[in-house]
Amino acid sequence: MHSITTTKALETSLNDLRKKNQTIGFVPTMGALHKGHLSLVQQALAQNNVVVVSIFVNPTQFNDKTDLEHYPRNLETDKESLATLSKNLIVFAPTAQDIYGGALFTNTYDLSPLDSVMEGAFRKNHFNGVATIVELLLNAVKPHKAYFGEKDYQQLCIIKRLVALRNYPYHIIGCPIAREPHGLAMSSRNSRLPKDTRKAANFIYHTLKTAKTKFGIEHAKNIKEWVQLQFKNHTLFRLEYFEIANANTLQPTHVIENNTNYRAFIAVYANEVRLIDNIALN
Ligand code: AMP
């Protein structure tokens, strides 16, 4: 495994590999790596000769300053976990100054209507921040394939839109959600949960699974109300949103149409820790 901190050094290394016809996979992350991240890296390793894993906590995508301050950072431990996977890995951990080429900035993209709902509605300018850093990273790595988790399904749709808008040749691949044994979707933020809350948080996935069993039998509106009821007066978790949405347009729906894929999306607070999850309904 190779560790690189500047865009220039990355470019030199990758150009050498490209000359040898090596295919390059890319997994962007914000670090504090868990098995969910590693599952993306493993898929990328299975499909490419070399994989670049970027580790960069991007300040511009945080709408909440406290969330940014408390975001876990474990670069050395992250490198150790990656080193156990393969020799054909490059860890790219740039400074903000390097990857932004100077001061931080946020581009504005036409992400409508994907960014008008759910994470986009509750986290102001989050997706312009995400798209900006992902565009910078994609152009630094120029991968054949880049891997994103369905854990952040809306983000995955936004990245596909970004690549289409810019006509980039990068192939964007969505990967399944990795879960803790009791069902909670793995997340770097889970380490901020007290042990009991972390265990109890299987309630979120359990609620999504029950919503799925109701889908197609009950009206979407009734399912949404049922979910809201589950969280009403809950002592540990506060529901921010639950939506049943078209899996392509992400627009929340009350009417279920044939030949259309739907997903359920949820965002929940456990004290100040924000957790998101989603599930395919059909
Ligand atoms: P993050 O470090 O949270 O920005 O995540 C980096 C990448 O890992 C994103 O594409 C996430 O969607 C993905 N990811 C995070 N958690 C999971 C998970 N539990 N299962 C699958 N992918 C995940």
pLDDT in tens, 120-172: 999 999 999 999 999 999 999 999 999 999 999 999 999 999 999 999 999 99
d(CA 154, CA 223) in angstroms, rounded, equals 21
Q: What is the structure's pLDDT at 134?
A: 98
Q: H/E element holding 25?
A: strand 24-29
Q: What is the structure's pLDDT at 254?
A: 83
Task: Indicate which atom in ligand 1 lies nearest the CA of residue 186.
Answer: 19
Q: What is the mean pLDDT of residues 83-105?
A: 98
Which residues' Cβ are closer than 6 Å to ligand 1?
29-30, 36-37, 39-40, 148-149, 151-152, 175, 177-178, 185-188
Residue 133 · residue 60 · CB < 8 Å: yes
Q: What is the mean pLDDT of residues 29-52?
A: 98
Which residues lie below 8 Å from residue 46, measured CB to CB, with a gap of 6+? none
175 CA distance to ligand 1 centroid (A)? 9
d(CA 203, CA 182) in angstroms, rounded, equals 9
Q: Is the confidence at residue 197, as pLDDT, over 90?
A: yes
Q: Is the confidence at residue 255, as pLDDT, over 90?
A: no
In the annotation, is 37 catalytic? yes
DSSP string spanning 230-274? HHTT-SSEEEEEEEEEETTT--B-SSPPTT--EEEEEEEEETTEE
The pTM (predicted TM-score) of the whole model is: 0.97
- Of 102, 90, 133, the closest CA to residue 2 belongs to 90
CA angle 152-115-261, nearest 5°? Answer: 60
The rounded percent of the chain whose pLDDT value lies above 70 is 100
The torsion defined by the Cα of 202, 204, 207 and 209, in degrees rounded to 10, comes to: -70
The backbone torsions φ and ψ at residue 204, rounded to the nearest 5 degrees and listed phi first, read -65, -50
d(CA 34, CA 242) in angstroms, rounded, equals 25
Which candidate in 2, 34, 37, 219 is catalytic?
A: 37
